[in-house]
Structure 1
């Protein structure tokens, strides 16, 4: 690759480019939702006592939905197919990550609702 081609790529948005930025953002938000959902599940199970499981569950649901919306929006607006460098595959992977975050958040909410255990 010549120096002029490298400068042209850098001027157009760098190595990542504008096409993959939306997919990377959706992936990051979906992964963050999974982490929040897993922590909320652990809190609801009583294994750690830091924080509130219901707040964590609701946060995971909201972040997961935002990740899915970002991924679907990127899928709807991207041109080309997989392998063209526009982030289509990343957006496809981000959809199940966001849905997994919603699922984990919902499970944490249901586990924290009525445990029926007395507080010791």
Structure 2
């Protein structure tokens, strides 16, 4: 139990150091800007798609219905759309982290889209193998 507490404190310290370092610079924008709103929508859709791909992967292991194939196809298509949409966002908004452009959120959305496409690909491979 003490080891978990120590690990948690170390993790919190590593997370707080960049926050304290960036707080010294006063050029950061706070609140929702149009760029951050766009990136937030990207991230939410990417997260939903990754969850959907994970559920279809779980369905493929249980062998229910068509092995999660329909959900995997939808997750793959929506994941590709999320990646394209977030890539457009990254190219349109040139600002870095903390400028209010939502660039970090768009990068996270790209990672979520790639995750959903990978999970959907594994699902399609498993469902093809069982058929």
TM-score category (smaller protein): 0.7 to 0.9
- Give the number of aligned pairs: 101
1:52 to partner: Cα distance: 5.3
Alignment of 1:1-120 (within 5 A): 15-46=31-62, 49=64, 53-115=68-130
| Cα-to-partner distance string for 1:20-52 (whole Å, 9 max, x where unaligned) | 1211111011101101100110111016x3675
CA displacement at 1:114 relative to structure 2: 2.3
Gaps of 5+ in 2: 1-30
> What is the CA–CA distance in structure 2 between the aligned matches of 1:41 and 1:19, rounded to whole Å?
33
Q: Helix, strand or coil: the match of 1:16? A: coil
Q: Runs ≥4 in structure 1, deviation > 4 angstroms?
A: none
- Shift of the alpha carbon at 1:64? 0.8
Cα pair 1:24 1:90 within 8 Å, conserved: yes
**What TM-score, normalized to structure 2?**
0.71
Show structure 1 runs of 5+ residues with no match. Answer: 1-14
Task: Write out per-residue CA displacement over residues 61-91 of structure 1, whole angstroms, 9 at most, x where no aligned residue.
Answer: 0111111111101000003211101101111
